Structure 1
């Protein structure tokens, strides 16, 4: 039997802790492999406070708040595992899709490469939007090659969160790397294990009470409430307009027909993707005529109900929208830990491996 291990986890671009929350709740099926927090970095003050409060309240100084470009990576404590959801702004299909060519965001993945080369953790997990596959000319392959040249064998997969018990259609690329000299093979966990999960929005939002943290319900204008009253559950404003039921004065003048604009949840289906940015009408709406609360958004992202987000309403909404769903992180991390423990689990072929 392999000797157990508690991996020390370092994290860049940690966000409010969705990835860490899932990872730190993970344990191999035999209970011998797990993780503990070592350090984390993000540049957003509210986000860092949220992470400290929920992930490492007894060690707040282990969260380094500031621009990663100013972070002295070599001064950080030793780690055995590494996670980073490097910023997706330049890889998202919404926007210019510049990829690595984007000077502000495209090169930020490289700081994770520096961590890999300096610390040589036994394994790592990197996450990004599905659009990373087509950003730039050959950016995705460049990033993968840099990871391989850092000494890692990779398993790259597009995960559909709704197939893994997450009540949200959120599709993300996750790269798992195991150090070349370690005789461990990671396989993509099979979604078949979660096929009986009830991932409807109705079930996801059941039992939320006003005394839970971040449960403020934002007041909408009378015009928005009236507009929502004409939109059916699961529909957006464009569909209501196409049906001819939406009065002229409530129609949206812009022709940029983003599918999320004034889109309501369908209570019998998983939520559409919870996002961080966007203008009016993209904030996420209940099947009744109101905006989602941040606690409801957190439920959809599978954060625990006692997970408290720091900051004002819009800051918290941003944090939740940028996070990795806790449950998806837990699923992937548990598979990594079982791989190290030598415990077989039901798996599928990676869908992005070369």
Structure 2
């Protein structure tokens, strides 16, 4: 059994890469898997990355670069007509739901974009879907945003299984927490459970392990430009410290940041070698690029991609800053793979070690 996956807000392909890696062998029934059918993102370089890695042998008409608000969600659209699908994924934009920022929720510029994924569910009725967003989704608009999103999805005819995943518990060398909603059609009598982190407890998720052994020829591995002033500043910051709490740096006022009220913990924060990285982000300026625990430098994009568990041969297209943004906005491949494998096992009636959903919602 092979499901055909369609995607909105596909990004550079973190979800798709994880989906394609997910395989479940069922005695007497063969292999259950997922393949790419179509995808959409509005950024041109991001779409080039997706095409280059996910469907390089395709003639590329299965990846549409466009604002989702401009897409005709109907059978008349060649994207849907020529690329049938029975599974769907959409990591709708998190800007207005993030705990960092103004938290405008559904009232923000991006808050209502989830509704375009709901339109796909309502129109095409895929057998199951995966929706992804930040942990702040449940608190946006005093919780009303999450309730509305869940009700809109449910009214399309799905049982819903929302869960807050801590990806460092699933083989990802990074403390990245995201809400994943799995939906299964009402007429399919299956119940989804999140996979138990115990199945991944033997994986070394330390930053040192994640960044070791990168081939010199790996793509997107160019070092970032570092001024001597930044290098000197980093020399006084110990692993785990940042530009505001480093005691040694306080002895050098000429190197301290002159930013009133700024205490963001990620600014010039250095990694701890025997612990997972802090969250890889796609936005922000100097001081937010993630910094090596020993060497006085920012990580390369390939090292950041390692923290997001992308394969070393995964090529990101665009200039260095655009690649950095793509990597930071992606879903970690290993985390996606773990969840998709649990979905496949659910659909194939294969038992697996699981936990209960940790977000209350009554179907």
> Segments of 4+ in structure 1 off by > 6 A?
none
Q: 1:275-318 deviations in whole A, cap 9, x for unaligned?
A: 00012101111112001000000000000000000000000000
Residue aligning to 2:68: 68
Q: Does residue 184 of structure 1 match 2:190?
A: yes
Instruction: State which of 275, 282, 294 in structure 2 corresponds to 1:269.
Output: 275
Query: TM-score when scaled to structure 2?
Result: 0.94
Instruction: State which of 154, 170, 193 in structure 2 corresponds to 1:148.
Output: 154
Q: Does residue 168 of structure 1 match 2:174?
A: yes
Query: TM-score when scaled to structure 1?
Result: 0.96
How far off is 1:245 after superposition? 4.6
How far off is 1:210 after superposition? 2.6
CA contact (8 A) 1:29 1:338 kept: no
Residue aligning to 2:134: 129
SS of equivalent to 1:238? coil
SS of equivalent to 2:178? strand
Q: Does residue 18 of structure 1 match 2:14?
A: yes
Instruction: State which of 119, 125, 135 in structure 2 corresponds to 1:120.
Output: 125
Residue aligning to 1:46: 45
Q: Which ranges of structure 1 fall in alignment gaps of 5 or more residues?
A: none
Residue aligning to 2:329: 322
Residue aligning to 2:211: 205
The number of equivalent residue pairs is 348
Q: Does residue 305 of structure 1 match 2:301?
A: no
Residue aligning to 1:90: 96
SS of equivalent to 1:348? coil
CA contact (8 A) 2:243 2:249 kept: no
Q: Which ranges of structure 2 fall in alignment gaps of 5 or more residues?
A: none
How far off is 1:246 after superposition? 4.1
Q: 1:3-25 deviations in whole A, cap 9, x for unaligned?
A: xx211100000000000000111
CA distance in 2, matches of 1:190, 1:55: 28
